[in-house]
Structure 1
Amino acid sequence: MTAVEEDLAGAWSAWHAEREDTLRAPHGWLSLTGLHWLDGEARAYQDLPGTWRAVGTTAEITAAAGDGVSVDGEPVDGTVRVEPVDGKPGVLVAVGERRVEVIRREEHLGLRVRDPQGPTLARFTGVPAFPVDAAWIVTGRFTPWEAPRVIDVDTVIDGLGFHPTAVGTVTFTLGGEEQELIALGGEGGELRLHFRDGTSGQSTYGGGRILRTAAPADDGSVRIDLNRTLNLPCSFTAFATCPLPPAGNLISVPVEAGEKSPV
């Protein structure tokens, strides 16, 4: 292994270790133990105390002081309402050591239960990945649209949509073929490339994977390191609501780089 290859592998190993540490977080994606959609009837869910129901765009929680339910550090004794934002991380409600994430997806309100003692988290031993290879690092070109656009994509849940903001396209050559992907916007000008490829549903998750890049350079060039392609939460748990890739975001060759399907 050359010095350059050693540097690449070392940097990737450190990055991937940090990624796995994030997945091990007590209330992270691997802690999910349930997903429940609310309706207008106040009812109990799973083994959660109190009752929960949807009231318009808010979730109404009714609990007694001894139930151990709190919102923003304040114990619930009676009825409170929380209002999550569509498509964003939800409002966290503490129930003992668990966290109930109240989410909104389009007009639907739901509860995601995060339990640090959950079975998926308990059995997690790491994320398998393809060997790191510099051949999977290419330079692409970002072409911004005149203005960002909210696009419609499907999710892993039938009938439930997601509406991310796309900012342009990224083109690059891979396997001797030109590829073009719609790029979603991210923090600090980063781009998010959500795609399927020839490995999807085989060695990698069928719902696609995602790659975050740094902000494009002034000339539009963007470094695409496919070794850092990630699984979405839905590859680990049935209780997430992941979007699927934008229509047409298919790389025409197998991308044997980045994370594989979890074992």
Structure 2
Amino acid sequence: MKRLAVLLAMIGCAAAHAAEVQVAVAANFTEPMKQIAAEFEKDTGHKAVLAFGATGKFYAQINNGAPFEVLLAADDETPARLDKEGKTVAGSRFTYATGKLVLWSSKDGYVDAQGKVLATGNYAHLAIANPKTAPYGLAATETLDKLKLTAKVQPKIVQGENIGQTHQFAATGNAELGFVALSQVWKDGKFTSGSGWIVPDNLHSPIRQDAVILAKGAGNAAARALETYLKSDKARGIIRSFGYAL
């Protein structure tokens, strides 16, 4: 009975110290973060309340007073800008993942291993994310420029608001091809469906994705705990399984 009482007291103490943290998460990191959040709550008792979207839009929302306490961006520029503007906890910014761009189709065998299908023009639509607000969209346009295909494919481009919507265009077949985040179509070393060409890193700028604790999270123990957890072996293993580099 005494041991049970001690255990219950420990559980009660942990529950009393558990907290919630409001997290803005780049759309490309949706599935990994859902898994990480579940493990985070299991291991720490803290709960991460997640919102997914375009990094550019999150920046605007943060400037307009949105209650986010942690930002997991799709780039490194937005967290750095927020740092300079004094809207973060100093010293909390770090790179949690480096993204990979992939040319993907929901059809098996449609995209060859070298991505030559892109130059054939035998497709009606190519989905990319808005390059002004989505780093993966910018990487897609840089890739097209490097391959000297921009002018050729321009009439076929359909633009998604963010990488989530861009993936939806390709996944539903409304666009035969799409430049999406590898994490959206990859798990444990293989494509989860369809076919794709992983774009070589030398065709676009590195997609370094930084996390930072925002000023609103300065006094929240759960925000600091999440920052630490993202650097743990368990979280890093989940991140790697979705095709990100670390």
Sort the TM-score into its range (normalised by shorter chain): under 0.3
Instruction: Tell me: higher relative CO, structure 1 or 2? Use CA pairs within 8 A at least 6 residues apart.
Output: 2
TM-score, L = length of structure 1 = 0.22
Bigger proportion of residues as helix:
2
TM-score, L = length of structure 2 = 0.23
